[in-house]
Amino acid sequence: MHETSDSRESTLGRAPLRACLRDAVEVINTPFRHIQDALRFPQSEARFRTVLAEQERRTQPIIVYSCTKTASTAVERALERLPGIESTKAHFLQPRHFWHGPLTRPIAPSGLLKHRSIAQWPVRDFVLQARSPVRMVSLVREPIGFNLSNYTYFGRAYWMRTWWRSAPWRSTDWLMQRFLQKFPHDSSSLWWEHEFKATTGVDVLAMGFDAERGWQRYATDRFDCLVLRADIADSAKADALGSWLGITGVTIERDNANDTQSAPGVYERMKAAMKGQAVYVDRMLDLPSSRVFFTPAQLAAIRGRWLGTGGRSEVAARASA
């Protein structure tokens, strides 16, 4: 039996001493963690570079190039299951968006969130050196779910690092205020301009997108890109991938769920609390990427799901005007 958000809130209290002490130790350990990461990261990156080189010797890999928490892992796994297909994944390929550890800011000057991965430099080098068109798959997620998932899933690394273990005992109001104050909320839209366009030269937000279908192909001399909306049915994603690749037998299964990494109960409580954030929801649904990747009716439906209403949002009304 699952607790409701209200019953969970009523049980909140002071965090156990052990959780508070471990949070305090995390603060003290920050410089040492930064040094430890700096020593270990190059070794892991070198191993990844070797794996990528082996893939290239077999055939040019498809890159799942998508911002964090957009169902990219499920697509990467689907490609890995296909015979004769090699794939790899990278969330960011522009160095100004590479996070460099606990002593550095997780937000770029553009307002886009940063990320750290052993794949970043190797995949970037592969893209720059590739001779034939590079095939890429990128995914779009609606911004409210994107923001909450990134905030909670990567809370331990970035946004809640000094209080992650005591987070389950924090009030929902406190958690929401921290989220609203600290997280770079426009990231789901900024990624398409400062990452995807900067890497591929393809300006999806200017070129437009088939929002009714939920996917579109963009091809240039250097890149062959498939952009999918994460919310369309897995069967529709599989059909789009099959059409793009010219094959059959593609299957997609859900993977990398948020609830396995977030502090217990935090994502669920914040998700429920979003019902009281109409101004925030409407601002997110008025982002440039929201207006391009979703129809007015789809935006209204997203608003209704987050706010628990069936009403038509102001942003959807403006988009249809």
Domains in the chain: boundaries: 5-263, 277-321
Cβ-contact 41, 120 below 8 angstroms: no
pLDDT in tens, 9-37: 444 567 888 878 877 877 777 777 777 77
pLDDT of residue 256: 58
- CA quadruple 90, 263, 38, 110: dihedral positive or negative? positive
Instruction: Work out the average pLDDT over 115-140.
Output: 96
Q: How many Cβ atoms from other residues are within 10 Å of residue 37's Cβ?
A: 15
Nearest to 167 by CA among 25, 272, 262, 26: 262
Residue 52 confidence (pLDDT) above 80: yes
Cβ-contact 168, 264 below 8 angstroms: yes
Gap between the Cα atoms of 89 and 79, Å rounded: 11
pLDDT of residue 21: 80
**59-68 as b/e: b if 16+ CB within 10 A:** eebbbbbbbb
Place of tokens 């396995």: 260
Report how far apart, in Å, the C-alpha atoms of 63 and of each of 90, 134, 225 are.
7, 8, 9
Nearest to 146 by CA among 55, 72, 242: 72
pLDDT in tens, 87-117: 999 999 999 999 988 788 999 999 999 999 9
Confidence of residue 321 (pLDDT cuts 50, 70, 90): very low
Gap between the Cα atoms of 235 and 230, Å rounded: 12
pLDDT of residue 32: 72
CA–chain centroid gap for 18, Å, is 31
What φ, ψ does residue 133 adopt, rounded to 5°? -55, 135
pLDDT of residue 104: 87
Alpha helices of the chain — where are they, by DSSP H? 5-10, 17-58, 72-80, 120-129, 143-153, 172-182, 187-191, 198-200, 204-207, 234-245, 266-273, 278-284, 288-293, 296-307, 314-320
Least confident of 56-60, 98-102, 230-234, 287-291: 98-102
What φ, ψ does residue 220 adopt, rounded to 5°? -130, -175
Q: How many residues does the chain have?
A: 321
pLDDT of residue 319: 47
Confidence of residue 259 (pLDDT cuts 50, 70, 90): low
pTM of the predicted model as reported, rounded to 2 decimal places: 0.88
pLDDT of residue 273: 96
Mean pLDDT of the chain: 89
Residue 45 confidence (pLDDT) above 80: yes
Cβ-contact 12, 171 below 8 angstroms: yes
Confidence of residue 320 (pLDDT cuts 50, 70, 90): very low
Residue 50 confidence (pLDDT) above 50: yes
